[in-house]
Amino acid sequence: MFFIAGGTGFIGKHLVNAFAAKAYRVRCLVRTEDKARACKSLGFEAGIGDITDRESLKGKLDGCDTVVHLVGIIEEKGSMTFEKVHVEGTRNLVDEAQKAGVKHIFYQSALGASATSWAKYYKTKAEAEEIVKASGMPYTIFRPSLVVGDGDGFTEKLKELVHMGPFVPVPGNGNAKLQPIYVEDWIKCFMTLFFDNPPSPPFSKGGMGGIYEFGGPEHLTYNEIVLQLMEALGINKPIIHIPLKIIKLSLPFYGISKGIGSLLGKKVPSVTAEQLSLLQLDNICDKDSVEKSFGFVPVKYKDALKLFIKERR
């Protein structure tokens, strides 16, 4: 049986649907009764809990062979910090998995994860990886670049930005490169790993580790991503590059901007100083990383947009 933490998130929803289509046995960790009912409607078991609450996990993993850890945040809100969610939450989940005799743990990390990173997001992702690797359980770690698809936060924020005014503001020069991969191709990578022929390379010696860095088949600049999204939406607006310093100076007034935006019927996307800085850095790996490791060629960003962007204005 698979135990999925984060099954109601962006990637989790797609993975849960894939499991439902194959009638695999799954138990989901959810935080509300409504989400529990949604999981049960797919034929799955559900347990209410939160990885940041150690007590709520007790007994939830009993009888499960594989843990799929998809929980993560891209922005700190209140008590939900990167440290609490990525590090403490992972430690809680791993501890309970060890007690339950889990045979394998999967962790969704991120391309760029590093213990020496200045970015708290990447640093805590790397710290979570170390907890998984030190668990003594066989593990698999995915480090994807930008994952896009129906419900992804990056595209939703970008759509808000594109619709907001007469031009599209881009932080900095917009030349940093990303490697977007369609979420259904991420699912295909996962299913290939766990259910089809083992990918190459498989786990390291002793079956105690497998780390996969991958992305889509293209290196696209942020500018190119914005332009292709506008094309998919049927929108034609100029792109205006705004110096990063100016945007960061305006962050303390974001609350005011959001309030004004709501009065004008415009949604102002949230952003943090760290997210702005990360948009200035490349987040790429080999273009053929998926083909080498999983045996297929993922779809291009433009083609992925055709599959999940329904709105045209």
**In the chain, which ranges are continuous DSSP H helix?**
10-22, 33-41, 82, 89-100, 120-133, 153-164, 183-195, 222-233, 244-250, 254-263, 273-278, 289-294, 301-308
Torsion of CA 156, 296, 285, 200, to 10 degrees: 130
Which class for 23: exposed (0-12), middle (13-18), buried (19 or more C-beta within 10 A)? Answer: exposed
Most confident of 159-168, 181-190, 255-264: 181-190
Q: Which of 33, 28, 24 is nearest to 9 (CA)?
A: 28
Q: pLDDT band at 244, cuts 50/70/90?
A: confident
More confident residue, 179 or 201: 179
Distances (CA, A) of 214 to 109, 173, 269, 292, 298: 11, 25, 28, 10, 10
Q: Hey, what CATH topology would domain 2-144 get?
A: Rossmann fold (3.40.50)
- With 60 as the cut, is the pLDDT of residue 264 above it? no
3-state secondary structure of 115: coil
Total-model pTM: 0.91
Helix (H) or strand (E) holding 69: strand 66-69
Answer yes or no: are the C-beta atoms of 299 and 182 closer than 8 Å.
Answer: yes
Query: Quick check: 187 and 295 in contact, CB under 8 A?
Result: no
Q: What is the mean pLDDT of the chain?
A: 89
What radius of gyration, in Å, describes the C-alpha atoms of the chain? Answer: 20
| pLDDT 10s digits, 162-184 | 988 899 989 899 999 999 999 99
pLDDT tens digits, 93-123: 999 999 999 999 999 999 999 999 999 999 9
pLDDT at 18 over 50: yes
Q: Which pLDDT belongs to residue 253?
A: 45
Alpha-carbon span 252 to 74, nearest angstrom: 19
CA separation (Å) from 52 to 9, 72, 90?
A: 16, 11, 8
Residue type, 253: F
209 pLDDT exceeds 60? no
Question: What percentage of the chain carries pLDDT values higher than 90?
Answer: 76
Domain-wise residue ranges, the chain = 2-144, 153-176+219-282+300-308
Check residues 199 and 77 and name the one with the higher pLDDT.
Answer: 77
- Residue 46's beta-bridge partner residues? 28
For 238: left if phi > 0, alpha if psi spans -120 to 50, otherwise beta; the answer is beta
Dihedral (CA of 9, 14, 15, 20) sign: positive
How far, in Å, are 22, 54, 99, 117, 214 from residue 105 at the CA level? 20, 18, 13, 24, 19
